[in-house]
Amino acid sequence: MTMKKFIGTISAALAATALTASAGVDVDIVSAYVWRGVTLSEEAQVQPGFETEILGGLATFGTWGSFDLDESQFIEIDYYLEIPLPLGEDSPVTADFIYTEYTFPGAEGDAEREIGLAFGTDVGEIGLGLGLFYGVGGGADGTLYIELSAEYGMALAENIDLGLSAVLHYWDIDGGESGFNAATLGASLDLVIPEIEFPITVGINYVIEIDDDVAEVEEDLFFTLGFSL
């Protein structure tokens, strides 16, 4: 996909967001594409995402992509369906079932498919998460990924929020090694400019390698610039 078509895709998503109250668009610019502690590209990427509620708010459908600025094309386009699980109004834990299909334009092979469960809870002002994901198709078939996460946010000023995060990545790759390959530490600033009326996020992330036999860390420091609508 050329840059002209990429801009057209973003414009279409923005138009859909304007027409649908439950829809949202995020666009991130990243200095490298690092996913679950694994470097997929050391080149800068633009990563747009669009999601909207469906079935009367019972589920969320979304799509996400990674556009390589050096190659001027999408190297990945994903589609996902997220369904909240009913644990009761008084439950301190949230749970979601997630189905994701990963596609790689121009690459050989079938799409990769994954099912997952994501759990979340709050301990004081810290948000804790547990994600369990299992590959059910394509090259990811039989691969188990688990992540443990913690997030903390605080207001620094009226229009500036600080966010801190830590994620521990565990891989059990079919036919390969298993274990914790890395941990990712992140810090971000959310800035709301009144004249623009949408937040801008500036972030820095550092990946700590734990076991390169599981998955080697090639890019340990990367930056993000994000916009949300």
Residues 76-105: tens digit of each pLDDT: 999 999 999 999 889 999 999 999 999 999
| Other CB atoms within 10 A of residue 28 CB | 18
Q: Which CATH number fits domain 3-228: 3.90.180.10, 2.40.230.20, 2.130.10.10, 3.40.50.11540?
A: 2.40.230.20
Query: Of how many residues is the chain composed?
Result: 229
Each residue of 157-208: pLDDT tens digit? 988 999 999 999 999 987 778 999 999 999 999 998 877 667 899 999 999 9
What does the domain layout of the chain look like in residue ranges? 3-228
Alpha carbon separation from 23 to 14, 62, 201 (Å, rounded)? 9, 9, 19
pLDDT the model gives residue 161:
95
Q: Say yes or no to pLDDT of 121 above 90.
A: yes
1-15, 17-31, 195-209: range with lowest mean pLDDT: 1-15
